[in-house]
A and B are shown apart, each in its own frame.
Chain A
Amino acid sequence: MTAILKHELRAHFHSLTAWVFGAFLLCFVGIGALQYNLKAAVSNFEYVLGYCAIILAIIVPLLTMRTIAEERRQKTDQLIYSLPVTTTQVVLGKYLALLILFAIPLLIVCLYPLIFAQYGDVYLPTAYGSIGAFFLMGAALIALGVFISSLTENQGFAAGLGVAVMLFNYYSVSLSEYVSRTTVGSGAALAVLAVLLCLLIWYMTKNANLAYGAAVVLILGLSGVLYFKPELLEGLLPGIMEKLSFFERFYTFVDGVFDLTSVIFYLTAIVFFLFLSVQSLEKRRYN
């Protein structure tokens, strides 16, 4: 895993990716700090990160797009498969390299509250709590980006899909207000989601029977709930959209609340998407 990690770090620093990512992140945090801390004289550094959160939906896919897609395009994945390392080690090596790239500009950002504290009252626990949460949210988004990169060999497609998915996640709370809260509305929306999930299963496994089986189980389950416990579906979809928002959970920290469930949520999301990335790489061996 160390070899993969070092190799990835070198590749990112040899190309412009690492530098552009770091520059963009620092630039936006700088603009935020200028607006809030200097111009508006607000002493809460966490608001700056709240302002900058959306930029992650743009720059994280740019960072992660080549991670696995590029290996597939230039056929170096065959080298990876033939080396005495496991797919999990490969994915972890690549992921840790990305985390380091993300952590470097954040370490610089960590100096900002200290600098501002020299000139006024900055409440450091919320500032650093937010920086920690910002890192966790970024780590979860990076895991999602790695997974999306594992689905294709086209970097552009990986980046585009990544931006779309992350922006949808960013706006999911606002969008949830427009989603039907009725039982039927939620049921219909969940049925559509079930079909989309089955299409994803089919795409990843190329196993039509498995996809049909999953569709039957999900639709039957949904019908059962609709028939026996319809009240469970009331407001379910908007609720899911709010709960699954990476960004909404981050704003809890910005508001000064250290939410342990959110920490667990981010860690779970990281494990989940890395697991899917490993499966996505493994499935290539079987197709």
Chain B
Amino acid sequence: MITVSHLTKYYGRHLAVSDLSFEIGEGHVYGFLGPNGAGKSTTMNIMTGCLSATEGSVSIDGHDIFEEPKAAKKLIGYLPEQPPLYPGETPEEYLHFVGQAKGLRGERLRAELEAAIEATGIEPVRHKRIGALSKGFRQRVGIAQALLGDPRVIILDEPTVGLDPLQILEIRDLIRRLGRTHTVIFSSHILSEVQTVCDRILIIAHGRLVAQGKPEELERELAGETEIRLIADADDLTAAKIVASVEGLHALEVTGEGGVSTFRLAAGDGDPHAMTRALFGAFAKADTAILEMSVKKATLEDVFLELTEKDGSGLPAPEDSIAEDSAPVDGAAEEIKESEATGHDGDPEA
């Protein structure tokens, strides 16, 4: 559906996007993940024809965005990071204008306008001034304009930034629903959000694609080996002998003090619970108490942070990249979990 080939963008001498290439198939929700300043917005702006590329090409269903902009843009609905709204107009007036600009007329314009209003839930505010709406509703109006013209691809640039937790949940839900009928690409710097909403993830850092795939694939392929931390009630020599009796483990670090030893053990990529079971059995057989034992698997977040915090020069190529998992990068997801737990069903209107 979308082919991005060797995309490079310089702002003056600053390299914003460097030789970026990827393909996006029909259907699914794609997450464009990366820290602020990674080049996500620049890439999206180029993909939608808002910006030119210094080098490279973008093809939407066979239409080059630079060579056949009209044909390519008809296939795209785009919501930039800051929703492009006219504060003096009502959502209905605004959507009417965008629909007309997208070539819709008469009955089809009316039908699509109503469908977009219904899909985004802005019916209660359709006659209010956009300037008087809450950020959540403004974001929805922005998404509604992206839906007009029935585009096959919807591109949303950080659609949840600045929203409160309940509004974030609602927008995520809306994106999931849109993903059933459209190809949706949305960018975010929140890992947990991308994991929750997307079928496939593209991680971008320093203007380069550093990893891509399904969340579970990335987790499986890119997450590091499991680590077991063990504190035993024995000196390090005795405890080491017991640990050595369990196959498939090797010690990364051993410290002992006052008859208590602490181990950091690498458990490979086997079942970590089989290892802890075997360790427990071995220590029980030696009549030695385990004071503490925990399993630590490198999370996608750990790897995401590692990938995105490196300077651009040392980044791996996307084919042989390493990966990530779970947990929010900022506080938003915790807030959401909290609100989910308290069962709010908020009203995002101002």
Contact = CB atoms under 8 A, between A and B. Distances in A.
B93 interface: yes
B289 interface: no
Contacts of B101: 3-4, 7, 83-85
Interface string A1-18: 011101100110011000
A84 B101 CA distance: 7
Interface stretch (A72-80, A166-174, A270-278): A72-80
Interface residues of B, number: 32
Contacts of B78: 78, 82
B50 A76 contact: no
A13 to B, nearest CB: 11
B73 A83 contact: yes
A2 B99 CA distance: 12
A85 B48 CA distance: 13
B49 A86 contact: no
Nearest to B86: A76
A146 to B, nearest CB: 19
A10 B73 contact: no
A27 to B, nearest CB: 26
A168 to B, nearest CB: 33
Contacts of A3: 97, 100-101
B82 interface: yes
Interface in B174-227: none
A82 B86 contact: no
Dominant secondary structure at the B interface: loop
A39 interface: no
A81 interface: yes
A7 B96 CA distance: 9
B276 interface: no
B80 A78 contact: yes
B11 A287 contact: yes
Contact of A78 (B12, B84, B102): B84
A206 interface: yes
Contact of A84 (B52, B73, B84, B86): B73
Nearest to B103: A84
A83 B50 CA distance: 9
Contacts of A2: 100
Nearest to A81: B50
A10 B73 CA distance: 25
B88 interface: yes
B45 interface: yes
Contact of B84 (A4, A6, A10, A76): A76
A286 interface: yes
B62 interface: no
B70 A86 contact: yes
A84 B88 contact: no
Contacts of A77: 84
A86 B69 CA distance: 8
Interface string B76-91: 1010101011111100
Given A6-B100, A82-B49, A85-B101, 15 more contacts: A3-B100, A7-B97, A74-B84, A74-B87, A75-B84, A76-B84, A78-B80, A78-B82, A81-B50, A82-B48, A82-B80, A83-B98, A83-B101, A83-B102, A206-B12
Interface of B: 11-12, 45, 48-52, 69-71, 73-74, 76, 78, 80, 82, 84-89, 93, 97-98, 100-103, 145, 149
- Nearest 4 A/B pairs, CB to CB: A79-B84, A3-B100, A3-B101, A81-B50
26 contacts: A2-B100, A3-B97, A10-B93, A11-B89, A15-B88, A74-B87, A75-B80, A75-B82, A76-B86, A77-B84, A78-B50, A79-B98, A82-B48, A83-B73, A84-B73, A84-B74, A84-B102, A84-B103, A84-B149, A86-B69, A86-B70, A206-B12, A285-B50, A285-B51, A285-B52, A286-B52
